Structure formats: structure tokens, C-alpha cells
Amino acid sequence: MPSEPTARTLRRTALAAAVAVLLAPACSSRPPAERAAEALSRGLAAHRAGQLDEAERLYLDVLELEPRNEYAHFNLGLIDQTSGDAASAELRYRRALFSRPGFLPALFNLAIVRTDAGALQEAMSLYREVLALDPGAASAHLNLGFLLRRLGREAEAQVELAAAAALDPALAGAGGTATPSPSATVTPGS
């Protein structure tokens, strides 16, 4: 029959268990950047599959690991924008731009949100910023053209609409604004 454990044995066992608990995360966890990239990738897959609650959870996980991850902020903004929460979308896009100034998808979508809010001068400035960074952004030319037309600046509007049609013939004769940018990828420069 085994003997009762001594107080010394119990203390050693407890100490070993405490050390194991403390060291386990440090030994088995991957670097935060690697975990964030994995969560972002899984979030994108859920987003594309239409599982928006899961995508949102995963994007928030990314932000816990990397608070300035522009892709997670952008994609959360896209979820908010497509679900009709313009105020939250605007905040997310601004956070993405704070994290990465000149991030084209966030600039473009922020311009749409600001247009819808009636902040037409700011929206026009945002579209011009998009075009300064990417003169070939046909949708930005298109939306800027519609915005200029709305402001009564028909000659300028025609120049932008013609530029959009020249860049993307499918936009010739388009009747509204372009849709928000699709979700970001994990590839820089998206």
C-alpha cells in the first residue's frame, strides 16, 4: 500500500505544476505576428463565406495581437458599412488610415461613407487622394465624376466620367456610385 504523500512532496508537485502553467504559454505559443496573420487569414475566409460574426470575432482577435493592423480595421469597417452602420465603418476606416496612411481601400470606402453622410467636399478630397496615389482607379474617377455632377460642376464631372470609361469600358454609362472596395488581403499594397 502506498504511503501518504509528505508535505514536502506536495509542495514540490504544486511548484512543478505552477512552473508548468507559467512556462507553457511561453514555450508553446507562436509569435503574436504569426498568430495575427493566421487569425486574419481565417477571418478573410469566414468573411468571403458570409460568416460575418465569425469574421468579426477573428478580426478583433487580430487587433488584440496587433492593434494597428490596417487590414483588420478595414475589414471590420467593410462589415459595418455593408450592414448599414456608417458611423462605425467611418471610425474603422479612419483607424486603418491612421495605421497605414494612404491605404487605398480605406480611402475609397471612407469617401463613399462621407458622400452618403453629405460631407461632399471631404469626399471629393478623399477621391482626389485616391487618384493621386492611383491614377488608374476607375471607380474613384467614376464616383468623383458623380460627386462633381451633384455639386453642379458638369465640365469637371465629364472629364472624370470619361477617364473612368477609358480605364474600364464597363463603367461607360454607369448610373450610380461604385460599391465599396472588397475585403483586404493579407498582401501589402492591396
pLDDT, tens digit (0-9, with 9 covering 90-100), for 166-175: 999 998 877 6
pLDDT, residue 115, reads: 97
* CA 28 vs CA 21, 24, 42, 117: distances in Å: 11, 6, 20, 48
- Provide, rounded to the nearest whole percent, the portion of the chain with pLDDT above 70: 77
Count CA atoms within 13 Å of residue 108 on its CB side: 27
Please indicate whether residue 16 or residue 67 has the higher confidence score (pLDDT): 67
Question: What is the rounded CA–CA span in Å between residue 93 and residue 102?
Answer: 11
For domain 31-171, the CATH superfamily is Tetratricopeptide repeat domain (1.25.40.10)
> 46-50: long-range contacts (C-beta < 8 A, 24 or more apart)?
47/75, 47/78, 47/79, 47/183, 48/183
Task: Write the CB contacts of 130 (distance below 8 Å, at least 6 apart in sequence).
Answer: 104, 107, 108, 111, 137, 140
Chain position carrying cell 512543478 = 16
Is the model's pLDDT at 75 over the cut of 70? yes
CA atoms within 13 A on the CB side of 161: 18
Q: Is the pLDDT of residue 28 over 60?
A: no
DSSP state of 170: G
The chain-wide mean pLDDT, for the chain, equals 85
H or E element: which one contains 183?
none
Q: In angstroms, how far apart are the furthest CA atoms of the chain? A: 99
pLDDT at site 52: 96
- pLDDT at position 178 is 59
How confident is the model at residue 150, as a pLDDT? Answer: 95
Q: How many other C-beta atoms can be found within 10 angstroms of the C-beta atom of residue 33? A: 11
For 22-40, the DSSP string reads: HHHHHHHPPPHHHHHHHHH
